[in-house]
Amino acid sequence: MPAEDDTRERREAERRRLEERRREEEDKETGPYQKLEKIGEGTYGVVYKATHRPTGRVVAMKKIRLENEDEGVPSTAIREISLLKELKHNHVVQLLDVVHEESKLFLVFEFLELDLKKYMDTHTKAQNTGLPLQQVKEYLHQLIQGVEFCHQRRILHRDLKPQNLLIDEHRNLKLADFGLARAFGIPLRTYTHEVITLWYRAPEILMGSRHYSTAVDMWSIGCIFAEMITKRPLFPGDSEIDEMFKIFKILGTPNETVWPGVSALKDWNPEFPKWQRKDLRTLVPGLDDEGLDLLEQLIDYNPARRISAKRALLHPYFDGMAHSTHHRMDMRGY
């Protein structure tokens, strides 16, 4: 009975929509925060613009979607999140507060309107090119500083992409969602069932490695670096196997020589097509020799050989750039 099934599905979808709207109305006020509007749906749930009623400060509130809402918020997640409040750095979005109400969890962050994806879309539409090379260098430097700060504290991101790199009014780049992967895992789909992008995912994750390190974030940084220059994603795969093949077609199909241990990974297949490595210079025209060398070290197949954030900051590509070592002060009175 296809027509009946269709009607039933439509009714069910409408019921869910009404239920969602009812919940949103109930949720207008959460702790000392007043929600103003929904501004997006990210990896972990709905994001709202809100105000902190006692001070009038505008904030971003992420309502975390929990897999088993009936069971409440896992204590491990609460522990992980409380640690993130200690991450204070110029290039990391500040977690200001955590509101835990019954089975709901809201994370309150400083509010930033613009992300790198929107910024690149606007700029490249106007200029029809990638970002100016000096600006690429500045943003890459800021990104690696934020990542290095978190890696020093043994916190990985695991899902770095232009959408969660936010830009403030002073053109500072700040990393959002650091540490959330460890607290909540990375779902396969977003709150609205959009597939989470694989374009920035390290090959060891794609190949099913259970043990990965800070190197996964460095791979993502390499992909973002190239995209800022060319305005095109470096490896735009639409499934895990397509993503792997997009990487192989550019870097060559890996083997034990370039990546010791690759053949032991869960999703490795000796029958993978054998592609030859391309010259990266042809893919990122305009990038100087130092920049090209850094990019190659960021997207090295071998996680053990991939450049660390600490070493990347010392790379000759950044010669002459000031390193902002000062961490942001506590927000007094908040």
Asked about 6 being catalytic, the answer comes back as no
Distances (CA, A) of 230 to 151, 163, 249: 28, 17, 18
State phi, psi for 92 to the nearest 5 degrees: -130, 130
Catalytic, out of 6, 97, 121, 159: 159
Single-letter code of the amino acid located at 261: G
Q: Known binding site: residues?
A: 62
CB 295 within 8 A of CB 234: no
Q: Known binding site for ATP: residues?
A: 62
Catalytic residues: 159
